[in-house]
Chain A
C-alpha cells in the first residue's frame, strides 16, 4: 500500500479471451509505459495525448513486438484511482497478458495487491462512502474467492512449504540477532560458514519454487503446442482426432486453415493448448505469406512445436520439376530446428495409411530425424504421440506432491525474497555487520510472510531465540 509505487494488474478475468485489459496506475505510469509503447501515428505521442483519449500502437520488448494494443489515457486526477492511469487493451492470450505485465514490472511497476486500485481511489477521494461501501463488499467477496483459489493452489502444501522456509529464515535471522541483542550472553554464535550453508539451503528451496512457476503455469494455462505443417498435411484432422470431435473445418483444399486457432485439449490429465498454424511453406499468395509470419510468432510462444507432414507428398511430389521432395521436408525441419532452441520439436509423419511403407522408407531415412509415424484419420500412432506430449510436463513434480507455484503474486514475492537473500549473501561475503544483514533478511521475511499472511517478524525471531538459546543473566 505504498502509494508512490506504480502498480499494474490484469483487470479482465484471468484466462483467455478475445481481448484483455491491463491497468497501469501510479505516478510513474506514463514514464513506464513510454518505455515500452510506440503509437503508430507519428504525429501522436503519449506525452501530449490528452486525458480520456486513446492511442493505437505497439508494445515492444527490444525490437520485438509483443502486441498491438489500444491504450486508454487517464490523467491525474481524472481516473478511477485519481492517479495517472493507462488502460491497455491487448489481445486476449494469456501469453500476451503475461508478457506485457512482465515488461511493465521490468520497467519499474509492481503487481497490485488485491483491492489496491480501490484503496487508492478511496484515498484520493475519488469515491464517496456509499460508493466505497459497494466496492468493499466486492473486495470482500473477491478475497473470499481468492482465498478459495489460494487453497486450491496449495497443492502439496504450498503454504506449508513457505512456512518451513520462513522458519528456516527466521532461524537464520535469530542467529544474526543473537549476536546483536545478546552479545553479552554466554551462548555460541553461529560461525559464518554455518550461516552460509543455511542461506544456500534457503536459496535452493526458493529457486525450486520459482522454477516450479513454469509447471504451475502449465497446470493453470495449459502447454502451448504449435502445429506446423504444409497445407493439407492433416493438421485439422489430427486436431480433430485429438479432440475426438469435428470442430475445426477440414477440407481437401490446401490452405484452408489460415488463422491461428487455439484448441484446449486435455491429454493424460494435462491441459494442452494446440495452436493451429498455416505452416511455413514459401508461397506467392499474400494471405498465405502473412500466415507464415504468424506461424513463426506462434512458434515463439509455444513450448512444443509439432511439425506435421504428409508422407504421401514424398511419393506424389517427388520427381516434379526433378526434385526429391524429402529435401523440401528436410529443409523445413532444419529451419524449425533453428527456431525451436530450448523447445521440444516433434516431427510427425502423417497419412501413413495412404502409402506403401517400402516406397517411402529411403525418403524418410533421408530426413535424418526421429519420426513419429501416424495416421490421424485411422488413429494409428496417436498413443505414442500423446505420450511424447505428456512427457513435456514434469509429472514427477505433480505426482510426488512437490510444491508448485501457480500464483503470479506468489511468484513475484518469491523472486523478491530470492534477490533479498542474494543481497544477504553478498553482505556475508563482505563481512558486514549483522544489523545490515538483518535489513535484507527482514525484507525477505516480509515477502514470504505476504504469501502466507504472517507478518509478525520480531516476535517470531525473539520467540525463536528464547526457545533455542539460554538467554538472560
Chain B
C-alpha cells in the first residue's frame, strides 16, 4: 500500500471504525481505514438519530475524550431534545435527529482532514497472523497490507443474511454485499463465534403522508448540543417529528402474514434485542395491547425520505405496505425501502481484554457490533477505546481503561468482557450502579483531563474546561457569601409555594430548595448583574444548580464508589490457575477460567461466582 507497514489498520467505516481511525491517527499512528465501500462511511444504518437515555451520555463522554461523534452530530442535527428533564440531572439525556446524508458526509470530510490517515476500498477477507500476533490483513483483490495492529469493526457484515418475508439473501445492509472469510479465519484461530439478529423499519416517501392526522413532536425551545467544544452552535431552526399509532386492524393485517414471517417460521434462529422488537414481535408478545406508537422521523433537512420508527419488520413487503396504509396519516403511503431483518456473526466479547484487544491474538482489536452490541453510540465509544489502545500498544504506552464509576464507557466494556451478552447489548442508565456520578453535564470534568494526558484532547479543550470549572467555583463562592433580606425574596418564594424567609440568609441556601431554580433568582438584581458581568452561560450556572440541589446524593454515591477498595483492586495474575483451587465451586472455576478477570472487583461481577468463591480466591492469591 502507501506505507510499508501501518501502525493501525481499521477494518470497517461505520461508527466504530470511524472513531477508531480518527483516534489512532489523531494520536499520531500511521493509520489505514479499509472499507468495502468508501461511499458509505459513517452510515446510519438504522434510525437517523443520535443519543437518547444513556446513549446521549455516551456521546458526551466520547466528545469529552476527544472523539468526533459529538461534533459531527452537532453539525448535522435537525432537531434536539433533552429527554428526562423532569428527572434528576443524571437522567437528563440529549437526543438529536440527524440529517442522515449530512452525517455521513461530515464523517467522511472529518476523516479526510487527518493527514496521517489513509483510505482504501476493498473487502478484507483474512488476517495475517503469526504466532498469535497480528501482522496485517489480506483483501479480496489479493493485497497483503502489513500493520502492527488491526481493529475489526465489521458491524452486521460478517456473513450478513437479510430476510424480507420468505426471501433471504446475503448482504451487510440493504443493497450492500456481506463480508466473507473473516469469521472462518477467526474460528480457525480458536475464536468462538455466535449469531445475532436485528431489524429495521421501512423508509417511506414523506410526500405521501398526511401529517394532519398525527401529533407533532417539536424540538426543545432552547436546544442544546452534544459537543463541549466552541466549534459547534445550538440549532436555530429545527424540524419536527410526528407520532401516530397502529391499531387492532393494522395488527390483524400483520398477523395474517405471520406464517410468512422469517421470525415465526423458523427461518431466523438467532437472538434479537428485546428492547428493539419488530412490530410482529410486539403484537405477538403483547397481544393485549391494541396499539403501538410510531415515530415518523424526517431523514434530513431537504430529503423527502422518512423513517418509520417503531415499525421494524421482516414481513413480506406487500404486507408491510398493506398494514402501513391502515395507520392514520399513512393511507397513501409509498414505501421507498422495505424493512428487513438481518442476521450476522459476532464474537462473544468475553474473549476480549479491557483494552478490547483479543486475548487470543495480540494486536487484534474488536469494536462495535462484532462484540454483540447494538447502537451507534455503543459502537462509536468502543471504536474510540480500541483506536486509543491500539495506538498506545504500538507505541509502548500503557493501557487506557475507564472504570465503571468513571464513565458509561467503562460500564459498557466491563459488562461486555465480564458477563458477555446473549442479545444485542444496549446501554441503559440502570446498568450503571453509580449513574448519579455519570452525568452528561460533567462528562468533560470526568474525562477531558484523562484525554488530555493521553494526547487526544487538545489544548483548547482543557483550557475551556478549566475556565468552566473556575467560573462555577466562583459563582458557588459568590452565592454562599451573598446574604439576602427576607422581604426581597419572599414574594418570589411565596409565588413558588415554598416557605418564606424569616431572617437574612445566604443565597445558596435558597437555591438548595427543590422549587427554586437559579433562573427564578435572577429577579434578584445583584445575581443578574454578577452573571452578566462574569459572562456566565447556562452550562455554568446549571453546574452550580446541580451541585447545590443534589450534593447530598452525589456525595453519597461517591462514597459508595470509593468503598470499592484496595482489596477489590487486588489484581489477579493473568496466568492464574483456577483449576487447582478445589475449594472453588465447579461453576466458579469454569467461569473464572473463561473470563480471566483482571481484578477481584471484576471477578465478583461474574455470574456464578459466589461471595465464598471470592473469599477462597483472595486467600489463595499471592501478593
A180 to B90 alpha-carbon distance, docked (Å): 10
Contact B295 A473 (CB under 8 A): yes
Can you name the residue of chain A whose Cβ is closest to the Cβ of B619?
Answer: A136
Give chain B residues whose Cβ lies under 8 Å from the Cβ of A471: 274-275, 277
Alpha-carbon gap, A433 to B431, bound state (A): 18
Q: How large is the interface on B (under 10, 10 to 19, 20 to 34, 35 or more residues)?
A: 35 or more
B611 within 8 A of A: yes
* Given known contacts A470-B285, A472-B275, A435 and B436 CB-to-CB distance under 8 angstroms: yes
A436 with B612, Cβ < 8 A, contacts A3-B566, A473-B276 known = no
- On chain A, the residues within 8 Å of B295 by CB distance are 473
Which of B293, B310, B604, B612 is within 8 Å of A115, CB to CB? Answer: B612
Binds A, one of B13-21, B80-88, B247-255, B349-357: B80-88
Q: Which of B550, B570, B583, B619 has the most CB of A within 10 A?
A: B619
Q: Output the least CB separation between B577 and chain A (Å).
A: 13
Q: Is B264 an interface residue (CB 8 A)?
A: no
Within 8 A of A (CB), among B444-459: none
Q: Is B553 an interface residue (CB 8 A)?
A: yes
A328 to B276, CA, bound (A): 83
- The CA-CA distance from A143 to B289 in the complex, in Å, is 49
Which B residues, 238 to 272, have Cβ-Cβ distances below 8 Å to chain A? none
Chain B residues in 8 Å Cβ range of A125: 623
B54 interface contact, C-beta 8 A: yes
In the bound complex, what is the Cα–Cα distance between A436 and B282 (angstroms)? 31
- Complex Cα spacing A133 to B581, Å: 10
Q: Which residues of B contact A458 (CB under 8 A)?
A: 428, 430-431, 433
Contact pattern, B 545-577, Cβ under 8 Å of A = 1, otherwise 0 = 000001001001100000101111010000000
Interface residue from A123, A143, A456 paired with B566 (Cβ < 8 Å): A123
Residues of B within 8 A of A116 (CB): 615
- Mostly helix, strand, loop or mixed at chain A's interface? helix
A123-B618, A143-B612, A184-B83 known; A177 vs B274 contact (CB < 8 Å): no
Contacting pair A139 B292 (CB below 8 A): no
A442 to B561, CA, bound (A): 13
Closest to A442 in B: B433
B88 touches A435 (CB 8 A): yes
Please, how many angstroms separate the alpha-carbon atoms of A184 and B52 in the complex?
9
Rounded to whole angstroms, the CA-CA distance of A439 and B289 in the bound complex is 32
Q: Are B429 and A181 in contact (CB under 8 A)?
A: yes
A184 to B86, CA, bound (A): 13
Q: Is B527 an interface residue (CB 8 A)?
A: no
Instruction: Give the docked Cα–Cα distance between A139 and B615 (Å).
Output: 8
What 0/1 pattern do residues 431 to 473 of A give for CB contact below 8 A with B? 0111110110010000000100101101101100010001111
B593 at the binding interface (Cβ < 8 Å): no
Interface of chain B, helix or strand or loop or mixed? loop
Encode contact with B along A156-181: 1 for CB under 8 Å, 0 otherwise. 00000000000000000000010111
Assembled-state Cα–Cα distance A442/B553 (Å)? 14
Q: In the docked arrangement, what's the CA distance between A239 and B310, Å?
A: 78
Q: Contacts of A108 on B, CB cut-off 8 Å? A: none
CB distance from A306 to the nearest CB of B (A): 44
* Alpha-carbon gap, A122 to B618, bound state (A): 8
Number of interface residues of A (CB under 8 A): 53
Known contacts A136-B620, A139-B615, A470-B292; A433 and B87 CB within 8 A of each other? yes
- Known A140-B616, A143-B612, A453-B611; contact A4-B54, beta-carbon cutoff 8 A: no
Known contacts A139-B583, A453-B611; is A183 also within 8 Å of B84 by CB?
yes
In chain B, positions 70-96 with a C-beta closer than 8 Å to chain A are 83-84, 86-88, 90-91
Q: In the assembled complex, which residues on chain A have CB atoms less than 8 Å from the CB atom of B293? A: 185-186, 473
- B309 interfacial by beta-carbon distance below 8 Å: yes
Query: A260 CB to closest chain B CB, in angstroms?
Result: 39
Give Cα distance in the complex from A473 to B556, angstroms: 35
B419 to A: closest C-beta gap in Å: 8
Tell me the smallest distance from the CB of B593 to a CB of chain A, in Å: 18
Interface residue ranges of B564-623 to A (CB < 8 Å): 565-568, 570, 583, 604, 607, 610-612, 614-616, 618-623
B47 at interface by CB-CB < 8 Å: yes
Please state if B616 and A139 are interface contacts (CB–CB under 8 Å).
Answer: yes
Identify the closest chain B residue to A143 (Cβ): B612
Residue pair A136, B583 in contact (C-beta under 8 Å):
yes
Is the C-beta of B286 less than 8 angstroms from some C-beta in chain A?
yes
Inter-chain contacts of B436 with A (CB < 8 A)? 435-436, 439
Report B-chain residues with C-beta under 8 Å of the C-beta of A438: 430
CB distance from B553 to the nearest CB of A (A): 5
**B435 on the A face (CB < 8 A):** yes
- Interface positions of A from 240 to 277, Cβ below 8 Å from B: none
Asked whether, in the complex, the Cβ of B553 is within 8 Å of the Cβ of A177, the reply is no
Tell me whether A52 is interfacial, beta carbon within 8 Å. no
Cβ contact within 8 Å between B615 and A433: no
B273 interface residue per 8 A CB criterion: yes
Q: Which chain B positions have C-beta within 8 A of A455?
A: 604
Point out the residues of chain A lying under 8 angstroms from B563, CB to CB. 2, 4
List B contacts of A129 (CB < 8 A). Answer: 620, 622
A466 pairs with B620, CB closer than 8 A = no
- Asked if residues A123 and B567 are in contact (CB atoms below 8 Å), the reply is yes
Q: Which A94-137 residues have a C-beta within 8 angstroms of B?
A: 113-116, 118-120, 122-123, 125, 129, 132-133, 135-137
Q: A140 contacts which chain B residues (CB < 8 A)?
A: 583, 612, 616
Task: Tell me whether B567 and A3 are in contact (CB under 8 A).
Answer: yes
Q: Are B583 and A114 in contact (CB under 8 A)?
A: no
The CA of A432 and the CA of B86, in the complex, are separated in Å by: 10
Task: Check if B567 sits within 8 Å of A135, measured CB to CB.
Answer: no
Residues of A within 8 A of B101 (CB): none
Beta-carbon contact of B557 and A113 below 8 Å: no
CB-nearest residue of chain B to A128: B622
Report the separation of the CA atoms of residues A118 and B566 in the bound assembly, to the nearest whole angstrom.
15
- Cα(A113)–Cα(B616), bound, Å: 13
Instruction: Tell me how far the C-beta of B84 lies from the nearest C-beta in chain A, rounded to whole angstroms.
Output: 5
In the complex, whether A40 has a CB less than 8 A from a CB of chain B is no
Q: Do B430 and A181 touch across chains, with their CB atoms under 8 A apart?
A: yes
* B53 CB-CB contact with A under 8 Å: yes
Q: Considering the chains assembled together, what is the distance between the CA atoms of A135 and B619 in angstroms?
A: 8
Contact B567 A119 (CB under 8 A): yes
Determine the residue in chain B with the shortest Cβ distance to A119. Answer: B618
Cα(A184)–Cα(B93), bound, Å: 11
Given contacts A3-B565, A123-B567, A137-B583, contact A435 B90 (CB under 8 A): yes
Closest 5 CB pairs of A and B: A140-B583, A186-B293, A433-B88, A115-B615, A466-B274
Extra inter-chain contacts (16) besides given A115-B619, A434-B88, CB under 8 Å: A2-B563, A115-B615, A122-B619, A123-B618, A139-B616, A140-B612, A183-B83, A435-B435, A438-B430, A439-B557, A442-B433, A458-B433, A459-B419, A466-B275, A470-B292, A473-B276
Chain B residues with a Cβ under 8 A of chain A: 47, 52-54, 83-84, 86-88, 90-91, 273-277, 282, 285-286, 289, 292-293, 295, 309-310, 312, 419, 428-431, 433, 435-436, 550, 553, 556-557, 563, 565-568, 570, 583, 604, 607, 610-612, 614-616, 618-623
Q: A interface vs B, CB < 8 Å?
A: 1-4, 113-116, 118-120, 122-123, 125, 129, 132-133, 135-137, 139-140, 143, 177, 179-186, 432-436, 438-439, 442, 450, 453, 455-456, 458-459, 461-462, 466, 470-473
9 contacts between A and B (CB under 8 A): A1-B568, A2-B567, A183-B53, A184-B53, A435-B429, A456-B607, A470-B277, A471-B277, A472-B273
